[in-house]
Amino acid sequence: MNFKIREMQVSEYGELENFLYEAIFIPAGAVKPAREIIYQPELQIYIKNFGEGPADFCFVAEVENKIVGAAWSRIMNDYGHIDDKTPSLALSVLKNFRRAGIATALMKNLLEKLSAENFQRVSLSVQKENLAAIELYKKLGFKIFNENESEYIMIKKILQ
């Protein structure tokens, strides 16, 4: 599959709503929640006023001029929060475009950007049942930092 990775344009920030919804992990047999769930405060922190923070960066994947994936970062008090200097990451690829290397390419570009901006490390939260995502993050060098009943918090050092 041919895809192109690029930085998201400011005019496209509204697309983050769609990718936030697509990023919600739905375990096998579970019912997908109503789209309105993304308007809950604990999810809005991923996208509200995006572009205003020091670690607000987003890369998108395009296939035939259509955005099919996004990886973004920001410093926020989200599920993967470590401290106020460590950006948290979010990743979402549309279902029909998964397993094509898009997520890996998106994450590598975002990690390179954060390194260039001198961030020391990054964090993320992932559902323990989301084995494909955990495998991807481990391949990219993320390590489990903490956990609760349902999630791992993983970190990756990006500057030595």
pLDDT single digits (tens) 27-64: 888 999 999 999 999 999 999 999 999 999 999 999 99
pLDDT, one tens digit per residue, over 107-123 is 999 999 999 999 999 99
Q: Is 45 helix (H, G, I), strand (E, B) or coil?
A: coil
Q: Where does the pLDDT of residue 160 fall: very low under 50, low under 70, confident under 90, or very high at 90 and above?
A: low
| Paired tokens of 94 | 């549309």
Checking if the pLDDT of 97 tops 70, the result is yes
Neighbours of 32 (CB within 10 A): 9
| Paired tokens of 155 | 């970190």
Domains within the chain, CATH numbers bracketed = 4-157 (3.40.630.30)
Q: Where does the pLDDT of residue 13 fall: very low under 50, low under 70, confident under 90, or very high at 90 and above?
A: very high
**Cα(89)–Cα(78) distance, rounded to whole angstroms?**
10
| Paired tokens of 28 | 């096998």
Cβ-Cβ contacts under 8 Å for 77 (sequence gap 6 or more): 45
**Cα(123)–Cα(75) distance, rounded to whole angstroms?**
10
